[in-house]
Amino acid sequence: MAMAQQRNGSADAAAAASAEPGWSAAAPRLRALALELIAERLAASADELIALAGGETHLREARLSSELRRTTAQLQLFAGLLRDGEVLEATIDRPDPNWPSGPRPDLRSVLVGLGPVLVFAGGNFPFAFSVAGGDTASALAAGCPVLVKVHPGHPRLSDRTAALVSDALAEAGAPAGTFALIHGEAEGRAVLADPRVAAGAFTGSHAGGRALYELACLREVPIPFYAEMGSLNPVFVTREALTWRREEIVAGYVASYTLDAGQFCTKPGFLVVPEEMGVEEAVAACIREMPAQPLLNSATGDRYQDALWSLRDQSAVTTVVAGDSDREAPTPSLLAISARSLLANAGTVLTECFGPTSVVVGYRDDDELLALAGAFGGQLTATVHAERGEEVAVQLLERLAAIAGRVLWNDWPTGVAVSYAMQHGGPYPATTSPLHTSVGTAAIRRFQRPVAYQGIPDPLLPPPLQEANPWGLPRRVDGRCQRLVMQGEPSQEARR
């Protein structure tokens, strides 16, 4: 299997297209094995990878170590999904001349890979949202060859990770062309326009994501483009909550927004609190003595200072703590604004500032608190800190569930579990596709399409749909889910 780092993207797209039929048709357990082998290779090279990542991103070793564990566990989680097989959604409708909407033929459907997927790696998670991250894992699991457009912030780590991925895929018997790297912005755009590419995924800024999304939509043959473009992650604190848990809330806020220099798409960018309760001063006291933390790279530093100053320059915004303006490693900043000013200037104030800055918003009463909840656009997360039994909390939760993919209670949004119920997505501008998540098991759905077979003789059906069910998949038959009896398990045929 060629790694093709130096080839051009068109050749990589061609190789991916020729790999696609074999990879998509492979038994799920073969793709599972491939994902497990990738996880093994990454884990076996952990020290080397973490050192490379540390050198290129300046992230802490402990953080990188846990991020790599998360990344390998994520690959294993998708492998487990494939071994179970339910994600193929094999569905069988037997012929029924009396079906109410009209006579029904023998109809069987299964989800297959969409085709080659172009992944634009994120910069702030050099493992979990990069070469072997969640987009790659879920696309490979779906049966799609993957082209990864390398993030310029960690090219050497990307090359090394790709070599490990390619070796693992080759060992698992994946077709040549199942995986390749793309270097360079222009090359990334060119590959996105390639007719052989069937979908795109992106993690990064709004400007970058929107531009690529429009390219994907306006192709002669448009393709789905899943862009996760960041979020303001507002946190709403009731007067009761602040009264009873002031220290805990202040400490949690500071820890969450300054963690790893605030370089998370789930960083709480706005803390909405009762004014005149001294939250700004308490937060300021916590951060004034905090040491500088290095940013990912100087480009991130430049964008951070630009975004910070565009907020500080607004007359409605007060600078409570002006962190030092070192572009490589600033200390945290804290801004403040009143609810009235924010509501009057939402268009200019509600912008993401990627780095160690957050804005405290002071409200006078619950009407202002609820009005603020309605002022934010689509978000990855929104959080409520409240005491049980507060009526305003009920209203807040309802409003926030309408704009956010994930709603939290007395917790902080940084930290995204990779599990079944995770929704890491949300209405625009958080993402371009509110139906989907980029983290968790449902991320695979972005890259699957259904194919229905009508009246096909059994031996010509793909294995998931053959009567004998050779892959032992759970299947929905006439609307009800059926699982084969597994060794050691009691017989069961579940109605689903």
Query: 51's torsion region: left (phi>0), alpha (psi -120 to 50) or beta?
Result: alpha
Q: Which stretch binds a second copy (CB under 8 A): 42-50, 117-125, 305-313, 473-481?
A: 473-481
Q: Is the dihedral of CA 41, 47, 50, 56 positive or negative?
A: negative
CA distances for 438 relative to 136, 207, 405, 441, angstroms:
10, 19, 11, 9
CA distances for 123 relative to 19, 128, 254, 295, 454, angstroms:
28, 10, 23, 11, 45
Phi (first) and psi of residue 212, to 5 degrees: -70, -40
Within 8 A by CB and 6+ apart from 313, the residues are none
123 vs 405 by CB, closer to a second copy: 405
Among 321, 422, 444, 473, binds a second copy (CB under 8 A): 422
Strand 146-149, strand 117-120: pairing: parallel
58 vs 406 by CB, closer to a second copy: 406
Q: Which residues are catalytic?
A: 228, 265
100 vs 291 by CB, closer to a second copy: 100
55 vs 105 by CB, closer to a second copy: 105
Q: Judged by CB under 8 A, how many residues of this single chain contact a second copy?
A: 95
Among 156, 288, 364, 496, binds a second copy (CB under 8 A): 496
Residue ranges in 57-76 that form contacts with a second copy under rule CB under 8 A = 66, 69-70, 73-74, 76
Write down the least CB distance from residue 133 to a second copy, Å: 12
Residue ranges in 159-178 that form contacts with a second copy under rule CB under 8 A = none
453 vs 471 by CB, closer to a second copy: 453
Contact 31, 76 (CB under 8 A): no
Write down the least CB distance from residue 443 to a second copy, Å: 11
Q: How far is CA 272 from its chain centroid?
A: 25
Write down the least CB distance from residue 446 to a second copy, Å: 8
Residue ranges in 33-62 that form contacts with a second copy under rule CB under 8 A = none
The helix or strand, by DSSP H or E, that contains position 254, with its residue range, turns out to be helix 239-258
Contact 23, 174 (CB under 8 A): yes
DSSP state of 6: S
**Residue 298 binding a second copy, by CB under 8 A:** no
- In the block, residue with structure tokens 């699982």: 483
Among 314, 319, 410, 466, binds a second copy (CB under 8 A): 410
Contact 192, 216 (CB under 8 A): yes
Provide the greatest CA pair distance for the chain.
Answer: 76
Distance CA 192, CA 187 (A): 9
Residue ranges in 192-211 that form contacts with a second copy under rule CB under 8 A = 198
Contact 390, 243 (CB under 8 A): no
Residue ranges in 209-228 that form contacts with a second copy under rule CB under 8 A = 213-214, 217-218, 221-224
Residue ranges in 443-472 that form contacts with a second copy under rule CB under 8 A = 445-446, 448-457, 459-460, 462
Q: How far is CA 159 from its chain centroid?
A: 22
Beta-bridge partner residues of 385: 237
Residue ranges in 72-101 that form contacts with a second copy under rule CB under 8 A = 73-74, 76-77, 86, 91-93, 99-101
Among 428, 463, 471, 484, binds a second copy (CB under 8 A): 428
153 vs 474 by CB, closer to a second copy: 474
Residue ranges in 370-409 that form contacts with a second copy under rule CB under 8 A = 377-378, 388, 393-394, 397-398, 401-402, 404-409
66 vs 298 by CB, closer to a second copy: 66
